A and B are shown apart, each in its own frame.
Chain A
Amino acid sequence: MPSAATPSRERALTLILPTMTAIVVLGFWQLLAKHWSIPAVILPAPSDVWQQLVAAWRELGYQACFTGAEAVVACLLSGVLGALVAAMLASSRFLRDMLYPNLVAFQLIPKIALAPLFVIWLGIDSPSRLVFSTFISFFPVAIGALTGLLGTNPNAIRLCQSLTASKSQIFRHVQVPYALPFFFSGMKVASTLSVIGIIVGEFISSKHGLGSYILLAGSRAETPRIFAALVVLCAIGLALYGIIAWCELCMQKAWRG
C-alpha cells in the first residue's frame, strides 16, 4: 500500500523492481538454455547472444545503418506529411468532412498487406521501403495533430479574433502551440510504425538491412544471429522514440520561454 511506504522508498522501488524482473528473467533464461541444454537453434542463452553481438558487431552495425537511416527518414517524412494533412484538414470544414471518414476507414484495413505493391511500383530499393513506411506511419501524426488543432481552447481563439489577429497569426501563435503535444504523441506512435514499415519492406525484398539479415539467419536456423539483430533493432526503435521525446521536451521549453 502506498500509505505504508515513504515516497523515497516508493521511488526507489519503481526503479529496483523492474530491474530485478529483467535480471531474474535473463538469469532464468540463461539457466534454461545452458543447464536444461535446450539447443541454441531453439533458444540461445543471453550469453550466446552477447557473444554473437560482440563477434558480428561490424556486420550488424553495417546492416543497422541501412535500417536506421531509412527509419529516421521515414519517420521525418511521416511527421511532415502528417502535419501538412492535419493543417489542411483543420483549415477547411469541407475538406475535413470529405476526407476524414475516408482516412479513418483506411486506418482499419491491414495496410501492411500493401507492401508488395510498393515493391511492384517502386522497385526493391530504398524508395519503395521509404514510401511504404511513410504511408503506414503518417496517419497517427495526422490524426494527433488534427485533434490538437481542432481542440484549441475556443475562448483563446475568440480573444485573438477580438484583438484583430489574422487567421495565420491565430494558427501560428495559438493553434500550433496547443497542438504540439498531440502532434508529438502521434510522432511517438509513428516512430515505432516507421521502423516496422522498413522491416516489413526488408522482409519482402531487400539485400541490405536488419530485416533481410534476420530473414537470412532465420532460413539458416542461426537463432543467435536473429537475437543479436533483434537487440540492435530494439536499440534503433528505442533511440528513435527517445529522440522524439527529447525533441518534444525542447519544443515545449522553446514555446514556454
Chain B
Amino acid sequence: MSASTQRLLLTAVRMPTVTGIAWRPVLLPVSFAALVLLAWQELTVHLHVSSMLLVPPTAIWDVLSQYWPILFAQAWPTLVNTVVGFLLAAALGITLGGAVVVSRRIEQAFWPHILMFQLIPKVAVAPLFIIWLGMGPSSRLAFAVFLSFFPIAVSAATGFRAADRTALRLCQSLTASTWQTFLNVRLPYAIPHIFAGLKVGATVAIIGVVIGEFVTAQEGLGYIIMFASSAAQTALVFAAIVLLCGIGLMLYGAVALAEWFVRRWYGAPISVGGFE
C-alpha cells in the first residue's frame, strides 16, 4: 500500500460514519489483532515451525474443538476456585479497607504493614499454603484469596479516605452518626476506587489459582498447562491458555458490568459532588 492511499484510507477511517460511531478506535486495533493472527498462521505453516515450539491458531482451534469435553471439565475447578476466591477476597478487602478509616490509630498500626505486603513477592508463599491446607482445592482457594485481598484492601481504603472533607464536616454538623456518614458519603466516594481494586483483584485471583495448580494439582487448567508443556504438546498448552484468557476476561467483564450498575444506582450523589 503506498503512502498516499494509506493516508486516504486513514482519513476515511477517521471520518465519523452515518451512525455516529467513531470506527477508528475500534477498527484499527481489531484489524491489527487479526493481522497478527494471520501472520502467525502463515509464518508457522510456511516456515515449517516445529509444532513443539509454536502451533498455528488453526491447530489451537482444532484442539479446542476436539478435546472440549476434557478441557471444559478441567476449566470448571479453575473457574470455581477463582470466582469463590475473588468474592471472599472482595468481602474481606472492602471490610478491612472500611475498618482502617474508622480510626486513625487502627490506620497507623496496620497500614504500613499492608503496604509492605503489597511490595513483597507473595507468590513465593504458594508452597506454604500446600503444607497448611493440603493438595486439594482449599489451598488454591486460600492462596487466591491471599493474593487478591491486598490490592482490593488498599484501593478500598484509599477510596474511603477520598471522601470530600467538607461533605464529612457537613454530616458532622448535621449530627449524622458514623455509620450514616459511612454509608451515605464515604461509600459513594469510594466506589470508583473499590472497583479499580476489584478489577486488579479479579486478575490476581486467577493468577493465584493457576500458580497453585502449577505447584501441585491433579486438576484445573494450570495442571493441563504444566502437563502438556512437559509432554511438549504445545497446541494443548495454547488451548488451555485460551480458556484461561476466557475466564479472565469473563471475570473482568462481570466486575465492569457490576461497576456500571452500581455507578448508575449511586450516580446521582456522586455527580452532585461539591457540597459548598
Query: Known: A22-B113, A102-B33, A109-B244. Is A120-B53 also a contact (CB below 8 A)?
Result: yes
In the complex the two chains form, is A14's CB within 8 Å of B237's CB?
no
With both chains docked as a complex, state the minimum distance between the C-beta of B74 and any C-beta of chain A, in angstroms: 13
Closest to B110 in A: A21
Docked pose: A107 CA to B245 CA in angstroms: 10
In the complex the two chains form, is B229's CB within 8 Å of A109's CB?
no
A17 within 8 A of B: yes
Interface residues in B103-129 by Cβ distance below 8 A to A read 104-105, 108-113, 116, 118-121, 123-128
B24 within 8 A of A: yes
In the complex the two chains form, is A116's CB within 8 Å of B131's CB?
no
Binding-face segment, B87-95, B162-170, B205-213? B205-213
A165 within 8 A of B: no
Docked pose: A233 CA to B119 CA in angstroms: 11
In the complex the two chains form, is B249's CB within 8 Å of A120's CB?
no
With both chains docked as a complex, state the minimum distance between the C-beta of B96 and any C-beta of chain A, in angstroms: 14
Docked pose: A237 CA to B122 CA in angstroms: 10
Per-residue CB contact flags for chain B residues 185-207 toward chain A (1 = under 8 Å, else 0) read 00000000000000000010011
* Residues of chain B with a CB closer than 8 A to A204's CB: 214, 226
Docked pose: A42 CA to B130 CA in angstroms: 10
Interface centre among A112, A200, A229 (most CB of B within 10 A): A112
Per-residue CB contact flags for chain A residues 93-130 toward chain B (1 = under 8 Å, else 0) read 01001111110010111101111110111000000000
A257 within 8 A of B: no
Closest to A107 in B: B203
With both chains docked as a complex, state the minimum distance between the C-beta of A71 and any C-beta of chain B, in angstroms: 9
Which of the residues B119, B131, B252 comes within 8 Å of A223, measured between beta carbons? B131
Docked pose: A105 CA to B238 CA in angstroms: 17
A221 within 8 A of B: yes
B38 within 8 A of A: no
In the complex the two chains form, is A233's CB within 8 Å of B120's CB?
yes
Docked pose: A223 CA to B206 CA in angstroms: 26
Interface centre among A107, A203, A223 (most CB of B within 10 A): A203
Per-residue CB contact flags for chain B residues 130-142 toward chain A (1 = under 8 Å, else 0) read 1110000000000
Docked pose: A99 CA to B29 CA in angstroms: 6
Query: Known: A101-B29, A110-B203. Is A192-B245 also a contact (CB below 8 A)?
Result: no
Docked pose: A200 CA to B222 CA in angstroms: 13
* Residues of chain B with a CB closer than 8 A to A41's CB: 131
In the complex the two chains form, is A192's CB within 8 Å of B121's CB?
yes
B25 within 8 A of A: yes
* Chain B binding surface SS class: helix
Q: How many A-B residue pairs have CB under 8 A?
A: 144
Docked pose: A20 CA to B110 CA in angstroms: 10
B101 within 8 A of A: no
Query: Known: A116-B226, A203-B211. Is A238-B119 also a contact (CB below 8 A)?
Result: yes
- Total interface residues on A, CB under 8 Å, equals 58
* Residues of chain A with a CB closer than 8 A to B248's CB: 108-110
Interface residues in A60-117 by Cβ distance below 8 A to B read 94, 97-102, 105, 107-110, 112-117
In the complex the two chains form, is B245's CB within 8 Å of A98's CB?
no
In the complex the two chains form, is B29's CB within 8 Å of A98's CB?
yes
Interface centre among B119, B124, B125, B222 (most CB of A within 10 A): B124
With both chains docked as a complex, state the minimum distance between the C-beta of B5 and any C-beta of chain A, in angstroms: 14
Docked pose: A101 CA to B33 CA in angstroms: 10
A2 within 8 A of B: yes
With both chains docked as a complex, state the minimum distance between the C-beta of B161 and any C-beta of chain A, in angstroms: 13
In the complex the two chains form, is B206's CB within 8 Å of A98's CB?
no
* Residues of chain A with a CB closer than 8 A to B33's CB: 102
In the complex the two chains form, is B211's CB within 8 Å of A97's CB?
no
A29 within 8 A of B: no
Query: Known: A97-B28, A97-B29. Is A18-B111 also a contact (CB below 8 A)?
Result: yes
Binding-face segment, A153-161, A170-178, A208-216, A248-256? A208-216
With both chains docked as a complex, state the minimum distance between the C-beta of B15 and any C-beta of chain A, in angstroms: 14
B73 within 8 A of A: no
Docked pose: A216 CA to B126 CA in angstroms: 12
B232 within 8 A of A: yes
In the complex the two chains form, is A196's CB within 8 Å of B123's CB?
yes
Please list 14 pairs of residues, one from A and one from B, whose beta carbons are closer than 8 Å in the complex, sorted by A's number: A107-B203, A112-B210, A113-B221, A114-B241, A119-B229, A203-B214, A203-B215, A214-B127, A218-B131, A223-B131, A226-B128, A234-B120, A237-B119, A238-B119
Closest 10 CB pairs of A and B: A218-B127, A116-B229, A101-B29, A109-B245, A17-B108, A18-B112, A234-B120, A17-B109, A195-B121, A110-B206
